[in-house]
Structure 1
Amino acid sequence: MDFDHNTLALSRAQHLIDLGQVGPAIEQLRQVLAQDPDHATAHALLASCLLVQKRHHAALHEAGLALTLEPENNDAHLVMARCQLAHRRPGKARAHVEQVLSLEPGHVGAWYVLSLVAEFQGKPGEQLQHLQRALELDPENVGVLIALAGLAFDRRAFDEAGRLTLEALGLEPEYVDALVMAGRLALHRGDVKDAREHALWALQIDPSDAGALALLASIKARQSLFLGLWWRFSMWIGVGGVARATALLLGMYVLFRLSEITLDLQGQTQARTVLSFVWLGFVVYTWVAPSLFQRALKKELESVRLRSDF
C-alpha cells in the first residue's frame, strides 16, 4: 500500500468515524497499520474507535503509541484527552486539550473535547459555551450540532433539539448519533413507530452502536409493561457502575432480611410470609425478565439488514 492509498484509507476512516461507523473505520485503519505500523495518526484514530467500543485500556495504549511516535500530533493529544476522561482523570484530559489550543486556538475538535471535560465535571454551562465556540468555528459540524441537541434535550428544550437534529441530518443523513437523537425525540412525542424506524436505520449503518441499541431497548420497554419495568430498574441500578449496582443489590437484600427478622420477632407470621413471596417474585422476575427482553430485542434486530460496505 503506497502513500496515496494510505492517505485515502485514512481519509475514509476519518469520514466513517465522523458518521459514527467505527466498525468499517477500524478495517481501514488496520490496512494502514499493516503497511506502516508507525503511523501516528492511524494509531490515534484507532484509539478513537476503541473508545467508542468501550475498550478503554486498548484505546489508552494506542493513544500512547501515537504520542510516542509524534509528540506534537493534535489528534493524538485529543484522543489521549478522551482516554484520560474514560479513566476518570479530567485534569490530565484538560491538560492535553489546552496544549492543542495553545498552538491552534481555532481547533474545533479541541473545543469539542473540552466540552466533554466540562460535561464530566458536571458543568453544563461551561459545556454549552465550549460547544457554541466550536459551532462558531465550524457551523456545519454535525457532531457539535448533535451534542448541542443532546444538551437541549436534557433541559427539555425539545423544539431546539429537533431543529438542531434536523440540521445535522440535512448535512449527514446517515450520521448515527443524529438518527438516534431523532429517534429519542420521536419516542418522547409518543411516536413509537418513527422512533423504531430511526433506531433500525442507525443499526443498519452500525449494528454495534450503543446509543441505537439503547434506543431500541427503550422502545421495546415502552411496548411492554412487564419488560419495561425491568428495563427501567436495570437502567437505574446500572447508573454509576458495577460497585454502585453491587452495593444497591446487597442493600436491598439486607433490608429484606432485616424486615423479615423484625416481622418474625413481632409475631407477624402472615406478613412475613407475604414479604417472602414478594421477594421471591422479585428474584424470579429479575432472573426471567432479562432473557425475555433479550429474546424480544434479538427478534427485533433480525429485521436489520447490514449495509453492503459494513
Structure 2
Amino acid sequence: MYLILPIAAIILFDQITYVKYGLRQLSYIESFSIYNQKTSHKNTLANIVTGLSFLGGCILVQWLYFVVYTKKLFIFITLVAIISALMILMRFDVLNYYPIAGTDGINWAFVVQLPFFVFAGVSFIFIVASDLLRNRDSDSLLLFLWVLGTFAFTVFVNWSVNARSILPIAPVAGILVMRHLRQSNKLDVYGMRGLYASLVLSLLVALVVTSADYSLAGSARTAAHSIHEKTRDWPGNVWLEGHWGFQHYIESAGGVKALDYEKPSLNKGDLVIIPGNNTNTKLLYKHMALFKNEYAFDVAKMLSTMNIGAGAGFYSDLLGPLPFAVGYTPEKYYVYEMIIDKKTRFTY
C-alpha cells in the first residue's frame, strides 16, 4: 500500500513528459542505460574497480579517518595487495578501458592514483562490513544495505559511474565515524584531533576539486565567446556538436545551431565546431570536411574533473575511472568546413 503513491507519481511523470516532449523520460533513461551498458567496452570487473575508485575518492573523510585509527601494517598490506592485483589485471588487459598508457608512454599519474582510490573504496566497504559484524543490530544492517544498494545501483544499474550516484553514501560515512569514536571511547582531545585533521584535509581536497570544476566550466564560457567572435561573420551556417555548458553559451550568443545527427542539414561551406572534451560528438571524415582551426583554452592545472587524458570522469566514467585526477590538458575545440552536402543521418 505504501508504494502506491510513489508508483503512481512515476507513471504520471512519465506520461506528462510524453505529452509535453513526445518522449517518456524515465522509460528513455532506462533504455539509454541498457544501451550504454551493451555498447560499452568495459567489463564487469572494470565496472567494480571504477565503482571502488569513485567510492574512495568521493568519501575521503572516511578513508583519512581509517588511516588515522587503523594499524599501519594492515594498511600497508592491503595497499600492496590492491596495487599487485591491479597490475596483474592491467597486464592481461582486463582493464584495457583505462588510460594506462598514451602516445607519451605510461600515464604514471593515473597508475599511482587509481590504486589509492580503490584502496580507499575497499577500506570503506571493510569498515561498513566490520560495523555490521561487530554490532549485529538493525542500525548496522540499515547502514550496510544503504551502502551496498547505492554501490550496486551505481556500478550495475546506472548508465555510468559518477560522483553524484555515490553521494547518497556520504551520510553513512559521517555516521560510522561518530559511531566508531563513541564505541572506542575516543571522544577525547586526541581522538577529536584526528577527526578534525581528517575533516580539514577532506575540505581542502573538496575546495581544490571544486575550483578545478569551476575552471572547467569557465573555460567553456570563454571558448564559446571566443569562437563565436571568430566565426560570426562566416558566410555559411555554423553548426555545433556536443552539449553541456559550451552549447548553452555559444547558442546564447546567437548564430550557431546544434547539429541533428538524425536529420542533418549540412551544406557545402558550412562550419562545424567540435569540442574535444564533450559528449555525443562525431568525427567528420576527410571526404566530408576540411580541417580549418584548432583552439585551446587553459583550465586549472592542479586537478581535472572531466578529462579523458587524465582519466578523470567526475560526471561520467566514460571519460575515466577516477572522480578527479592530478594533471590536466587544455580544452580543445576543432573547426571544420564542409566540402560536401550532408543531408542523410549519421550512421556511425
TM over 0.5: no
Instruction: Name which structure has the greater RCO, CA cutoff 8 Å, separation 6+.
Output: 2
Task: Calculate the TM-score normalised by the size of structure 1.
Answer: 0.29
Higher percent of residues as helix? 1
Task: Calculate the TM-score normalised by the size of structure 2.
Answer: 0.27
Higher percent of residues as strand? 2
